[in-house]
């Protein structure tokens, strides 16, 4: 096993800062691999990991490269998950630095993916390398699940990578996902679950006509207002022990009518619901349909459809593993993190079907923004938290 910098690299990957810089310099905007997975493959292979890079396909979708790496042949298997793909940088002239140059200034590292989530992934890779270098005969195994399709459709990424590994007989015990979970400081929170997401498309039909002759027309906007009010009239629920109340937001409302003297023929609305573990997409759709049906009566003509979703609510119950992650954060930051289920979706929704998963990463204040950045100190802290967690996890397994 390598104890020094691999010959093909000009930096030591046990340093989370230089590894983050190297990953940012790979322009891996979804669905492009951009060299990021290739770089990780070189790094992990040099440290003794077996590395494979399966490519998955789906009609109408771009082919996606992924990476699976493992060191060790016995259980327990601790999985570190993440993604190397990033969102487009947007207007390059709005950036104060090249988004793929990974410049450091004032203790801050700038670049697309700095916090979401090349910085988090790099810190965890560095921690695993440092741990295995010091403990080459440690019990158990460390595995990496890394996709290039988290920021995209999420069809040819983690969901298929997990199935691929499962069919090969790979079994996982626990997983740490390096999404940027912290709102302001590295001690803020770990995520033990995520809300689900359901998008509905509502169309109300009317009869187009002249505004001066309303008796010859039927304005669909009145019906739309009535239906949307019914959806918003009563809370979907009051929340649960670990989840906020489910929330419905109307995101689009349109009639496509450029004329001021014409009653439109149709009104359209799109809404999204972030729902807790009291609901499934099916039960939630049934409740929405009930509310619309009652509000519409016999006077409002409408159609409702729901987009397919793989974003379901889930919870990793607080227990020994969750406590172990929180203990590691507290030991390195001096403050115990909150257990949270807030925010958007993540690939944890797929991983939870195979093993308990917890999310912890860097501060995410600038994710997807112009001048995305991460504090150098946060990368160092994440590396130390992950290293401590690995040491504690495998020590506990050895004495179990």
Summarised one tens digit per residue, pLDDT across range 260-293 is: 999 999 999 999 999 999 999 999 999 999 999 9
Residues 185 and 165 placed together within one structural domain of the fold: yes
Q: What is the mean pLDDT of residues 1-28?
A: 82
What pLDDT is stored for residue 131 in this prediction?
Answer: 98
Flag whether pLDDT at 1 surpasses 70.
Answer: no
- Is 11 within the bounds of a domain? no
What pLDDT is stored for residue 130 in this prediction?
Answer: 98
Flag whether pLDDT at 93 surpasses 70.
Answer: yes
210-225 CB burial, b ≥16 within 10 A, e <16: eeeeeeebbbbbebbb
Q: What is the mean pLDDT of residues 134-144?
A: 95
- Is 1 within the bounds of a domain? no
- Is 356 within the bounds of a domain? yes
**The domain boundary residue, chosen from 306, 326, 350:** 306
The 10 Å Cβ neighbour count of residue 2 is 15
Q: What is the mean pLDDT of residues 124-140?
A: 96
Residue 335 CA to residue 187 CA, distance in Å, equals 6
Residues 250 and 302 placed together within one structural domain of the fold: yes
Q: For 38-65, write each residue's pLDDT tens digit.
A: 999 999 999 999 999 999 999 999 999 9
Residues 115 and 202 placed together within one structural domain of the fold: no
- Is 77 within the bounds of a domain? yes
What pLDDT is stored for residue 344 in this prediction?
Answer: 87
- Residues 6 or more apart whose CB falls under 8 angstroms from that of 115 comprise 180, 361, 362, 363, 364, 365, 366, 367, 372, 373, 374
Q: What is the mean pLDDT of residues 156-183?
A: 97
Flag whether pLDDT at 6 surpasses 70.
Answer: no
- Is 234 within the bounds of a domain? yes
- Among 158, 125, 117, 138, which Cα is nearest to 355's? 158
CATH code of 121's domain = 3.40.630.10
Q: What percent of the chain has pLDDT over 70?
A: 98
Q: Is 85 considered catalytic here? A: yes
Mean pLDDT of the chain: 96
Given the residues 15, 85, 173, 383, select the one marked as catalytic.
85
Residues 241 and 371 placed together within one structural domain of the fold: no
Residue 10 CA to residue 21 CA, distance in Å, equals 12
Residues 77 and 139 placed together within one structural domain of the fold: yes
Residues 263 and 189 placed together within one structural domain of the fold: no
Residue 22 near residue 11 (C-beta atoms within 8 A)? yes
What's the pLDDT band for 218 if we cut at 50, 70, 90? very high
- Is 163 within the bounds of a domain? yes
Given the residues 150, 188, 332, 347, select the one marked as catalytic.
150
What pLDDT is stored for residue 3 in this prediction?
Answer: 38
Residues 66 and 139 placed together within one structural domain of the fold: yes
Flag whether pLDDT at 25 surpasses 70.
Answer: yes
Q: What is the mean pLDDT of residues 217-221?
A: 98
What's the pLDDT band for 399 if we cut at 50, 70, 90? confident
What pLDDT is stored for residue 4 in this prediction?
Answer: 43
- Is 7 within the bounds of a domain? no
- Among 268, 257, 252, 270, which Cα is nearest to 208's? 257
Residues 364 and 264 placed together within one structural domain of the fold: no
Flag whether pLDDT at 307 surpasses 50.
Answer: yes
Residues 259 and 166 placed together within one structural domain of the fold: no
Q: Is 188 considered catalytic here? A: no
Residues 158 and 31 placed together within one structural domain of the fold: yes
CATH code of 284's domain = 3.30.70.360
- Is 321 within the bounds of a domain? yes
Which one has a higher pLDDT value, 400 or 384?
A: 384
**The domain boundary residue, chosen from 285, 306, 327:** 306
Flag whether pLDDT at 354 surpasses 70.
Answer: yes
Count up the domains in the chain and report the number: 2
Q: Could you tell me the residue range of the domain that residue 246 belongs to?
A: 196-306
Flag whether pLDDT at 251 surpasses 50.
Answer: yes
Residues 271 and 323 placed together within one structural domain of the fold: no
What pLDDT is stored for residue 60 in this prediction?
Answer: 93
- Residues 6 or more apart whose CB falls under 8 angstroms from that of 321 comprise 174, 356, 358
What pLDDT is stored for residue 397 in this prediction?
Answer: 86
Q: What is the mean pLDDT of residues 173-182?
A: 97
Q: How far is CA 67 from the centre of its chain?
A: 17
Residues 99 and 246 placed together within one structural domain of the fold: no
**The domain boundary residue, chosen from 253, 282, 306:** 306
């Amino acid at each position: 096993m390598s104890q020094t910098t691999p010959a093909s690299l000009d930096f030591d990957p046990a340093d989370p800062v230089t590894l983050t810089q190297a990953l940012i310099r790979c322009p891996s905007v979804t669905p492009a691999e951009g060299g990021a997975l290739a770089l990780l493959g070189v790094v992990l292979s040099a440290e003794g990991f077996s590395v494979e890079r399966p490519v998955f396909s789906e009609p109408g979708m771009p082919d996606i490269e992924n990476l699976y790496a493992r060191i060790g042949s016995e259980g327990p298997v601790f999985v570190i998950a993440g993604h190397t793909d990033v969102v487009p940088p947007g207007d390059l002239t709005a950036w104060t630095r090249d988004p793929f140059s990974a410049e450091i200034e004032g203790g801050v590292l700038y670049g697309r993916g700095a916090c979401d989530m090349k910085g988090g992934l790099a810190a965890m890779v560095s921690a695993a390398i440092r741990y295995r270098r010091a403990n080459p005969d440690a019990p158990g195994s460390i595995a990496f699940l890394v996709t290039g399709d988290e920021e995209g459709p999420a069809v040819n990424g983690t969901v298929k990578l997990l199935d691929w590994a499962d069919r090969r007989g790979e079994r996982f015990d626990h997983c740490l996902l390096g999404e940027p979970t912290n709102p302001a400081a590295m001690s803020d929170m770990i995520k033990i679950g995520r809300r689900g997401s359901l998008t509905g498309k509502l169309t109300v039909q009317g009869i187009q006509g002249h505004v001066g002759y309303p008796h010859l027309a039927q304005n669909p906007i009145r019906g739309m207002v009535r239906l949307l009010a019914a959806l918003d009239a009563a809370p979907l629920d009051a929340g649960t022990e670990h989840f906020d109340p489910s929330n419905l937001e109307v995101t689009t409302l349109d009639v496509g009518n450029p004329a001021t003297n014409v009653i439109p023929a149709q009104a359209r609305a799109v809404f999204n619901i972030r729902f807790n573990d009291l609901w499934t997409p099916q039960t939630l759709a049934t409740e929405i349909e009930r509310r619309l049906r009652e509000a519409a009566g016999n006077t409002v003509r409408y159609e409702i459809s729901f987009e397919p979703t793989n974003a379901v609510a889930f919870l990793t119950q607080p227990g020994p593993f969750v406590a172990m992650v929180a203990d590691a954060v507290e030991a390195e930051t001096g403050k115990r993190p909150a257990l949270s289920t807030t925010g958007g979706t993540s690939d944890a929704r797929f991983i939870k079907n195979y093993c308990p998963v917890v999310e912890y990463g860097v501060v995410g204040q600038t994710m997807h923004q112009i001048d995305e950045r991460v504090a150098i100190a946060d990368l160092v802290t994440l590396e130390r938290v992950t290293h401590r967690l690995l040491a504690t996890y495998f020590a506990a397994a050895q004495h179990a």
